[in-house]
Amino acid sequence: MPIKWSAVKVSEAMDGVESQIGLAAIFFAEAKARAEEALKIPDLPQYIEQRIQTLIWDIQRINQVKDKIEGVRKYIPDGAIEEEQGRTRHGGTQPLI
């Protein structure tokens, strides 16, 4: 059963999101490293240490974003992208069936 939405556009959108996340990952890694360095500050009170640990955990959640992108891709029906590309390659008209 053909889908009514564009699998190609969804796939391209996820490619764009993944690309931006890839660019941001460098900055997130640096932020995490700096937060980890902050944990080494002598005599750091526990309530500050806990906040920094939470910050580090939040920074690491960037991997969950990557998983969500993959989740969107997995919901694109098998063969839908290829079918749509084939239709557009041979013109955008609907079959008369």
* pLDDT per position as a tens digit, 19-77: 999 999 999 999 999 999 999 999 999 999 999 999 999 999 888 998 999 999 999 99
Q: Where are the domains of the chain?
A: 7-81
Kindly indicate the confidence band of residue 86, based on its pLDDT and cuts at 50, 70 and 90. confident
**pTM summary value:** 0.71
Judge contact between 50 and 35, C-beta under 8 A: no
Neighbours of 84 (CB within 10 A): 19
